[in-house]
Structure 1
Amino acid sequence: MHASVFRETPQRADGCPKRSSIAKLAWHAIDGHNVIMARKLRKVIAREKPDVVNTSNLSCLSVNLWRVAHAAGLPVAHTARDYYLMCPSATMLSKNESCERQCTLCACLASHKRTASRQVDIAIGVSRFVLQKHLDNGFFAKASSTNVIGDCYLPEPSSTSNANARASNDSVRLGMLGRISPEKGIELLIDELLADCSLDWTLTIGGTGELGYVHSLTSRYADPRVRFVGHVDALAFLSDIDVLVVPSKSNEPFGRVIVEAYALGIPVVGANTGGIPR
């Protein structure tokens, strides 16, 4: 059997197979008006008789759920945790750069979601940035309240944490944790570290990404101070570094790993983009 007989399925940066144009159109049609999920929600409402419907990630469910809840006379609260309502990919990225505004195609595809969002009574954001982005683009026009999550679950500090147990003359243990992709600023961080000879550091990068991209990074940065460790236990990883670095070039909706680091008393150096400083 010869490898040349097979063609590798094209992949996106997140490692998922790329869809054809026809498949994408079909997906948007289903995702925008998912009657199957709407029917299921009607049954849930009839059975459970809730006082309020709270939605978050509506991918594969569709904004039809808001219409069903509204028709049943139930108030709707929605938590915006990404850019799904504004961008089909939910990332608002183009060529690994953040889109500062909706492109024409995204605005067209999102128009029915913007209209449907008028049935949301309370709009919540995981950060002020991501919520304001939606409000500025006409979403949740009739919401009586818009809020930002002010607290969140924080893991208990590990009893074996050794984040502060290093000797003063050791290298500073820097860590970066999350999906490995170009917009995360990994190359920017490593280039800056390698360019400054006055620093004594090590950098451990935890997480996974598209295999070709990860391989290109490990080949390009074959420096003993830089380690790619793949999928890790977040708590164990954070407990073994001195400083967490979050150098994202994109407008992150919210840096969850930041609050996880804070819960362990680990300082964070973060980019001044998106929801990271907010």
Structure 2
Amino acid sequence: MMQRLKDAIAVLLGKAKTEKRKNINFINTNYTSTEQEFLDSISIEFLFAEFGEDRVNGGGSTFDEKNRLDPSLKTLRHYFPNAKYTVYSDFDLNIDGVNLIKVKSPVLQPEHPRYGYRTADYYKFMGLLNSDADFKCVLDTDMQIISSDIIALIHLTKKFGFCVPYNDRQLLRQDMQLSKDTQLIEDDSKGLGHSYNQSPMTLWQKDSRGMLFYENCAEIMKTDPSRASLVMWKSAWKTGIYPYILPKQWCVCDGNEGINDEVILHVGHKSIKEYYNDNR
């Protein structure tokens, strides 16, 4: 008993690490009749933004070039077979059952090496604004939905209007210090606000606060482009409107392996893909 207490104290003080879970069992149950009636009563759209014909992933994982939107599309369809699926792209990305919106980028500085990332984030914001669905969600293509708890994302969005994921760096200042495509933080927050991630981002119907937030994000990205987390912070600081932040279980990234209650895995991170494939 005394040794277990000492071990627990060591973990709390950061002097020892918790043991990673070896047997992983995701929550997967059939939707109840009430849940299915709810899903049937609303319109749902999932959106993607893919630019450049070569698939690029910065997290270290490799994916099938022929299935550009997988694993996100494949795993979403398992839980939402009747949803609408749309991709914004600058090339002919033709996938069965997916609506293609071919566009040109209005983002400034096309010579910048992060131009493709900036453009994709711009159309993530615009995709949410342009969708007529009751529930709309934009996410990257390297996400793996692994739990029927995904339905809670719709209820959270309906309750709070719009949601964005937790950023593992948390502090905006540290995000800007550790990331690419950053700028100096010039507002009075001194970078001590919470940073945001971009997958998944959601909006309920035409929620006025969410619309204003994403409209400002799109405008800032178009005219003063940089890393999306900074763009989103600038929008929040300008408007005083900020989204509900989803816990890390909604975008499980490198370093969060085995946290329990996972809903979406960011398998673009090699460590996440390997850990969960090896332990299922």
TM-score (norm 1): 0.30
Structure with max Cα Rg: 1
Superposition TM-score, scaled by structure 2 size: 0.30
Q: Greater relative contact order: 1 or 2 (C-alpha under 8 angstroms, separation 6 or more)? A: 2
